[in-house]
Amino acid sequence: MIDATVDDMKTQAITFTSQGVAALETIELPDAGPTDVSVQLEVSGVSVGTERWALLGKRPEMAFPHVPGYMGIGRITAVGAVAASCGWREGQRINFACSRLPAPYAGNSWMGTHLAHAVVDVTAGREGRDGPHHFFRAEPLPEGLDPLDSALTQLCGVALRGIEMARIPAGGTVLVVGAGVIGQFAAQICRLKGARVMVSDVVRSRLDIAARLGAAWTVDPSREDLAARAAAAAPGGFDVIIDTASIPSVVNAAVPLLRVGGQIIFQGWYPPPSALDLHAMHIRQPTCHFPCGHSGRHVAQAMLWTRDRLIDARSLLDRVVRPGEAPEFYRHMAGSSEAFLGAAIDWRNA
């Protein structure tokens, strides 16, 4: 078992100490307050794209050192009075996005879920309190949902938010660019909504997963003519393009495949400055959506779909590591964004 407990307010945490360097350290947790719950982690999902950018020092809103991760699953061990009035209870499972941390980690990042125990404010950021954006904070796990099955469901919520913004029509055609976790979830959700989906990626194993999970077409543009395949699948152009690759040259190649007046969902994170071809977009006259994050409603729906086997999240989880393995895991991840599809840290019996 992990040697730290909530009682002594110390716990083990994965930290990004400097550019490209991850460590497993013991940190001292802040005291829990009335709006907080104390959580014993079971698993924490890894957002390969966001965490890799953070580890490499490319996210301008983050500084070193910090505790990464924004997908924590665990059991509540103590509940503050205000948190209890919001319906949280001891023994309940929770899916949360960030935690309260001590100096020098506090304020260096909006993340903070890769740790054995956490202090989570479950009231700040609740939907309806912070204006129209509604960033996700925490949601209870539905009964019957396995922790590992739920580890990546926040990323499903990210995909769902963008898809709802676009209001994809039943029977429409969708091109998903990039078959990482968010792209895989986006393809599955579009299929649930009655759309026909093409998935594009240069990693064969990811295309195989997309095909098995219901994509009507898959294409490797490094080996096939994407434009020709697109013209055969969607004469006149796709109704919607969902980009999760975040690579300007890839986006620029996809834009001409959109029908005139179609929609583009910019579902990735685009390091500034960007070389997106605005002339190509001008020609297609698209409506563009920039979802930026996820809300509690979307994550709650993603968890229900996963529990009810309408969405397959477990097939996207190809790497589960123990906390002690994390520094080496992140060293590999820093070297390649394609090293893993979906990953999680298992804190149980560590």
CATH number of 155-289: 3.40.50.720
Domain assignments of the chain as residue spans, ordered by start: 10-151+317-346, 155-289
Give pLDDT, residue 4: 39
Identity of the residue numbered 285:
Q
How many other C-beta atoms can be found within 10 angstroms of the C-beta atom of residue 90? 12
**Three-state DSSP state, 333:** helix
- Out of 3.40.50.720, 2.80.10.50, 3.90.180.10, 3.30.465.10, select the CATH number for domain 10-151+317-346: 3.90.180.10
**pLDDT-derived band at 219, boundaries 50, 70, 90:** very high
Q: Based on the number of CB atoms within 10 Å of its own CB, is 298 exposed (0-12), middle (13-18) or buried (19 or more)?
A: buried
pLDDT per position as a tens digit, 4-55:
344 458 999 999 999 999 999 999 999 999 999 999 999 999 999 999 999 9
pLDDT per position as a tens digit, 241-275:
999 999 999 999 999 999 999 999 999 888 888 89
